[in-house]
Every structure is written in structure tokens, then in C-alpha cells.
Amino acid sequence: MLPIGIHLSYWQVKWDDDLLPLIQKAKSAGFEVAEFPLLFPGDLNYGALRAELDNLGMMASCGTGLGPGTDVTHPDSSIRKDGIKFLQSCLEGAAKLGSPGLGGVTYAPWGFFPDDDWGDRLKRCVASLKDVVIIAEDNNVLIHMELLNRFEGYLINTVEQGLAIINEVDSKYLKLHLDTFHLNIEADHIGDEIRKAGKYLGHFHLVANNRKIPGEGHIPWNEVRQALKDVGYQGYLVTESFVNPAGEVGKGLFIWRQLAEDLDLSAKQAAQFIKQEMKDV
């Protein structure tokens, strides 16, 4: 079976909450992979985090998100350069943690919808990513571009849009990152969208349609499992659920009510569900 993981922000209230104790929480819940949010990559003690991973026999995956000040699609070249530098810091951090990839919103700012020409922004995105993939190769870390729903992003809402960017950048270090929460909104059929990604699928998130843990809600997991098998997916299976309305994390992800009474128990249930549902992938 493929390694299963959980995004550590599941337990965070603030985006800069200490990640070190959350690795043990992930391990205790039954996961093999801890996914790190690299939103402040320069502030993390990578040595301590890597030591804890090694001590617990855990693996790492990493994700991040660009903002208005690190927008690699921006008309201002200085802002694009800041975005490339930010992604470089994330890639270097991912390498220190032993993560094979850096996923998330790595190609445009999250939650930002510009008024200017999106075609020009797409061209600047491609040009920026051509620089970023060189850095990715230097660090031996893949870049994964996450397909977002229309309410959180505009540049990649479909696999076709992501593949078009991959084709333009033309690097084996650029892949797609799919998430069932977003696919449930944008895809006519989730399995078909996974199959369209094919060999370019680099990272996968298992999340309920309402951002609860997998096993809740109405995601067609049989369809997901078969599609992952069909494309020969070999990456991690990570849940990135957000169930706690507390603090800036809950507010930032639009979680307005408590979606799990006991976070630790729900995490264990998520691990058990993924192990059972995806054991043949």
C-alpha cells in the first residue's frame, strides 16, 4: 500500500503554530507521512523537525501557497522575483525534510482574482515556473501544482489547464496535485479527471466534499481508488481536512462551525478509512 499522511495544519489554530509536537500526533493517529505547511519557510527549525521525523520513523511531504507579495504571475518583475525566491526557500526546506515534492498553490496567489488580463498572467506564470523548475531540480524536489476550486483560485480549475502549463514549462520536475475536495466542485466525474492527469499526477489529497475527514460526506471513493490504480499513481495519499473553526486557520479556510468533536479521534478514523479504502492502490 502507498504511504498515507495527514496535513499538520489539521491541528493548527494559527499558521505559525509549532509543528514539532504535531508530528507525534500524526504518528499516533496511524499515519506514516507528516505534511508540513511551508508558509513561513525561513522560520522553521528544519534540523529539529527532521530529527523528530527520523526518531518516529515518519516521512515528510510539504505544501505551500503564494500570496499577493509573492505572486509569480504579477506584472511587476520584482514581485515575481520575490515569488521565485519564496518558492526556492520552500524547495530547500522540503529537501531538508526529505520531502519528494512541494505541493499546493505554487503557481499563482491563493484566493486572489485579478482584474487585469489573465492570459498575460498565465504567460508570466509559465515564465516564472521555468526558473522554479531549475531550482526544483537542484534540490531534487518536484513542484506540484494544486487544482483549486473556482472560489479559491482561477488559473488551474481543471486538469486540462494544469497540463497546458506543464506542456509549456516542459520539465519532469513539474506535476499536478489533485484534491478530492476541489475535484468535487469542478469535475463532472472525479475518476475521469484523475485519469486525465495520468502520469503527471504527483500528489493526492483525500478529503470529504465538505472538508471533513475522508469517509464522511459523499466522495465516490470506489471511483477514486480505481482511477488511481488506472494511472499507476505511486505518490503519497494525504488527507488535508480542516474541521476546526478556531483561529486564523479556520477563518482562512472558511470553516464556520465545528466539523469534528475530537480532532485526534477523527484523525485516527481518517487513517483507518484510508488504509481500508485504498489498500489496493
Taking each helix axis as running N to C, give the angle between helix 263-277 and helix 20-29, from 0 to 180 degrees, rounded to the nearest 10: 50
The answer to whether the beta carbons of residues 53 and 94 sit under 8 Å apart is: no
Domains for the chain: give ranges and CATH numbers.
4-277 (3.20.20.150)
- The DSSP symbol for 118 reads H
Task: Quote the CA–CA distance of 179 and 101 in Å, as a whole number.
Answer: 15
Residues of the chain with pLDDT under 70: none
Q: Could you read off the pLDDT of 143-154 as tens digits, one per residue?
A: 999 999 999 999
The answer to whether the beta carbons of residues 89 and 42 sit under 8 Å apart is: yes
Task: Quote the CA–CA distance of 192 and 163 in Å, as a whole number.
Answer: 14
For the question of residue 277 being annotated catalytic, the response is: no
- H helix intervals, the chain: 20-29, 46-56, 77-97, 118-139, 159-169, 180-186, 190-197, 221-230, 247-252, 263-277
Task: Quote the CA–CA distance of 124 and 75 in Å, as a whole number.
Answer: 8
| pTM > 0.95 | yes
In the chain, the amino acid numbered 84 is: I
For the question of residue 146 being annotated catalytic, the response is: yes
In the chain, the amino acid numbered 277 is: E
Q: Could you read off the pLDDT of 174-199 as tens digits, one per residue?
A: 999 999 999 999 999 999 999 999 99
The answer to whether the beta carbons of residues 176 and 202 sit under 8 Å apart is: yes
Residue 117 has a pLDDT of: 86
From the candidates 52, 146, 152, 193, which is the catalytic residue?
A: 146
Residue with cell 470506489: 222
Closest CA to 3 of 233, 212, 248: 233
The answer to whether the beta carbons of residues 58 and 23 sit under 8 Å apart is: yes
Task: Quote the CA–CA distance of 153 and 213 in Å, as a whole number.
Answer: 22
